[in-house]
Amino acid sequence: MILFITVLHFTSLHSFPPGHHYKDTTFSPFCIDLTTSLTTTTTATIPIVSHHHLSLFLNYRLEINKLFCFCTSAVISGSETKSHVFFFPSIVVKMGRAGRDWSQIYSIYGMDDWHTPIFLLIHAIVFSSSSIMFLVHFNQICYSFESIFPSIFSATFARFTAGFTGSVMALTGVCLFYAAGNMFYSSVALYWDMAQRMVNTVHDWSSVKTVLDVGCSRGILLNSVAMELKKEGSSGRVVGLDRTNTVTLSTLKTAAIEGVQEYVTCREGDARMLPFPDNYFDVVVSAGFVHKVGKEFGSKTAAASAERMRVLGEVVRVLKEGGVGVVWDLVHVPEYVVRLRELKMEDIRVSERVTAFMVNSHIVSFRKPSHHDHVLGPNEVRLDWRFNTMF
């Protein structure tokens, strides 16, 4: 719909006969001040425009404001006790409960992959700048089309082609800005919010003594669990597992900043072969990690799926009977549910869909029943732990 409005506006703007062009370029939809209310728009700057075109422009502006609302973020500021609300086209996240906004979270944890948002942002700027150039030099571009391809481009068709190309560039720029904003938002504010939801999935933390975070990464979920243990006055500990020692050292630093270092232990290890004995942890959690396992085979291949199922099987293996598992992941949660049913897990619950990193995500929680017999998955072997040390 936005593409249709954009193309229609572009063609209507530049298809008038000579002498009927708009006299003031401040009417350009690509020079919109998003902080100005629609009610302040007047017809004083557009002396030659019909009510139809004015209505079209207002509708266009409204759509652009909707798409760009993620950029403005509309943070309701104030004391830390006030609710901070982030406005996005498809999701509204309230963060007053945790008493933090995205800047606080980012200052502590940073981002796992900052290259992607920067890459998207640069391309968004390039496409947006190109669309503005098409708008500013519209007549020259139309003349160039007519001169280079006189047999193909008539005056009307040249104007339509230039308008359509500028519209596509503008829309592409908007989409890239949205993607960059969503990637940053998902890595910081949404990640924190989902971690709090995962923590709230476990109803009684006072009785929890051992917790495992598979793929702890920056430590957002790990430290959220540790803060809950500290709040409950528990003597429990949470173990963070990641593939590299560099990450685990960085995670321990964030735990120290959060003041929960005495509740946190990190170690290096492979999630497909967890270095822990059977039935060891009261709770096992994982956030945004399992889908990364097996990517070397291609995310949609059977081999990658088998690797993810190995991780899920290991989670079940190290979980105590009666223990709770909570996993937030992207795209592949439906196949996790199937596997958990095969493993005879109980109380399997799946959250509503949440858009994260431009794809669908869900939280799945389950409980390991008493007297559970582990069902080996593809390429899984039962390990002998007699010669392994814990920490």
Q: Model confidence over 136-149: pLDDT tens digits?
A: 999 998 888 888 88
Is pLDDT above 60 for 325? Answer: yes
- Environment class of 38 (CB within 10 Å of its CB; exposed 0-12, middle 13-18, buried 19+): exposed
**For residue 127, what are the domain limits?**
2-187
More confident residue, 15 or 115: 115
How much is the average pLDDT of 228-247? 91
Is pLDDT above 60 for 357? Answer: yes
Q: pLDDT at position 67, please?
A: 40
Tell me whether residue 373 is in a domain: no
Tell me whether residue 379 is in a domain: no
Output the domain CATH number for residue 240. 3.40.50.150
Domain count for the chain: 2
Tell me the pLDDT tens digit for each residue of 121-131. Answer: 999 999 999 99
What is the pLDDT confidence band of residue 372, given thresholds at 50, 70 and 90? low
Tell me the pLDDT tens digit for each residue of 289-303. Answer: 999 998 888 878 999
Note whether 200 and 277 are same-domain residues: yes
Note whether 172 and 222 are same-domain residues: no
Is pLDDT above 90 for 381? Answer: no
Note whether 209 and 97 are same-domain residues: no
Tell me whether residue 303 is in a domain: yes
Is pLDDT above 70 for 49? Answer: no
How much is the average pLDDT of 193-210? 93
Tell me whether residue 384 is in a domain: no
Q: pLDDT at position 295, please?
A: 87
Q: Among 187, 217, 240, which residue terminates a domain? A: 187
What is the pLDDT confidence band of residue 285, given thresholds at 50, 70 and 90? very high
Tell me whether residue 41 is in a domain: yes
More confident residue, 17 or 188: 188
Closest by CA position to 68, among listed 109, 100, 33: 33
With 0.75 as the threshold, say if the pTM is over it.
Answer: no
Note whether 229 and 350 are same-domain residues: yes
